Homo-oligomer: A and B are copies of this chain.
Amino acid sequence: MENIIIEPIIRNALNEDLGLGDITTIATVSYNALGCAVLYTRENLILAGVDVFKAVFYEIDSNLVISGDYKDGDRIPQDSLVLTIEGKLRAILQAERTALNFLQRMSGIASKTKEYVTKVKLWNTKILDTRKTAPGLRVFDKYSVRIGGGYNHRIGLFDGVLIKDNHIAAAGGISKAIKKAKSYIPHTLKIEIEVETISQLTEALDAGADIIMLDNMNIETMGKAVKMVANRVPLEASGGINLDNVAEIAATGVDFISVGDLTHSVKAANFSLKIRNSKNN
């Protein structure tokens, strides 16, 4: 992720927490006190967001020294030392919570994504994210999915076409909707359309859809759909996916499975940051 993109989000998060200042720290820690913080995992996890974590500390104090070899995507066992932070204690204490809030969410997403990816690895199916992300954090949420081995669906409404039931109805049917989309959207974008039945699937194929989303279909119908399409276009399963049913769905032969659960219901990854004061100058 480029600095120019993430910096305003980090700055905003710090302002939210710091407001007009960390009064506890200013009151109790002298300006020149030094400290050292050590970050440990408290569960087995996939690391994601370590550069964001660092950037939060550097935003507060660019003279902090952060050392550690793990990088995003690494699987780290429980109770491992991830990195150390050395420098002014005030800066460490002020950045700590905000940095962890990013890291824990991001690693939580990556770790859960990896679970899904692992479940479907026999079938070559790709796990996709959705737009069900925390408002304001989409770029981090989607990055974390990639780190966990998943793939990104469109970022927002602006960079991908997904024709849903309401668009179809408004346009006057599947064929008309696809035709309208073709005449409007940039030629660099594919047209994905959502279908719920086999007959809609047929119509979408005939109308030249580039990708077809099978929305809330049962396993049996999905299987039929896969056979019928026979690799002419990629198929994406969507709706009600969880860790229990994802393998079964992958076994139908769909190309993609999109999972809202990856980002709408995040379990924070368990880290602990311990700080040791060094000395006051």
In the complex, what distance in Å separates the CA atom of A19 from the CA atom of B203? 31
Cβ A4 vs Cβ B11 within 8 A: yes
Cβ A136 vs Cβ B9 within 8 A: yes
Q: Is the interface of A mostly helix, strand, loop or mixed?
A: mixed
- A136-158: CB near B (< 8 Å → 1, else 0) gives 11110000000000011111111
Q: How many residues does chain A have at the interface if contact means C-beta atoms less than 8 Å apart?
A: 101
List, in ascending order, chain B residues with CB within 8 A of A255's CB.
187
List A247-280 residues whose CB lies under 8 Å from chain B. Answer: 255-256, 260, 264-268, 275-277, 280
- 9-residue interface stretch from A76-84, A162-170, A220-228: A162-170
A132 at the B interface (CB under 8 A): yes
List, in ascending order, chain B residues with CB within 8 A of A97's CB.
131-132, 157
Q: With A24-B161, A264-B101, A268-B264 known to touch, is A156 a contact of B18 (CB < 8 Å)?
A: yes
In the complex, what distance in Å separates the CA atom of A172 from the CA atom of B17? 26
- CB-CB nearest in chain B for A160: B188
Cβ B93 vs Cβ A16 within 8 A: no
Question: Which residue of B24, B156, B161 is within 8 Å of A27 (Cβ)?
Answer: B161
List, in ascending order, chain B residues with CB within 8 A of A236's CB.
187
Cβ A101 vs Cβ B20 within 8 A: no
- CB-CB nearest in chain B for A35: B166
Q: Give min CB distance, A217 to chain B, whole Å.
A: 17
Cβ B159 vs Cβ A159 within 8 A: yes
Cβ A184 vs Cβ B264 within 8 A: no
List, in ascending order, chain B residues with CB within 8 A of A166's CB.
29, 35, 89, 93, 275-277
Cβ B170 vs Cβ A189 within 8 A: no
In the complex, what distance in Å separates the CA atom of A16 from the CA atom of B157? 9
List, in ascending order, chain B residues with CB within 8 A of A29's CB.
166-167, 170-171
List, in ascending order, chain B residues with CB within 8 A of A168's CB.
28
Question: Which residue of B1, B135, B189 is within 8 Å of A16 (Cβ)?
Answer: B135
Cβ B33 vs Cβ A170 within 8 A: yes
In the complex, what distance in Å separates the CA atom of A180 from the CA atom of B23? 11
In the complex, what distance in Å separates the CA atom of A170 from the CA atom of B89? 9
- A5-47: CB near B (< 8 Å → 1, else 0) gives 1000111111111111111111111100101000000000000
Cβ B268 vs Cβ A267 within 8 A: no
Shortest 7 CB-CB contacts between residues of A and residues of B:
A19-B158, A13-B135, A160-B188, A159-B159, A27-B184, A22-B157, A264-B268
Task: Please list 19 pairs of residues, one from A and one from B, whose beta carbons are closer than 8 Å in the complex, sorted by A's number.
Answer: A2-B18, A2-B22, A2-B94, A17-B138, A18-B158, A19-B155, A19-B159, A22-B158, A27-B181, A27-B183, A28-B168, A93-B166, A151-B187, A153-B188, A154-B186, A159-B189, A161-B188, A162-B188, A188-B192
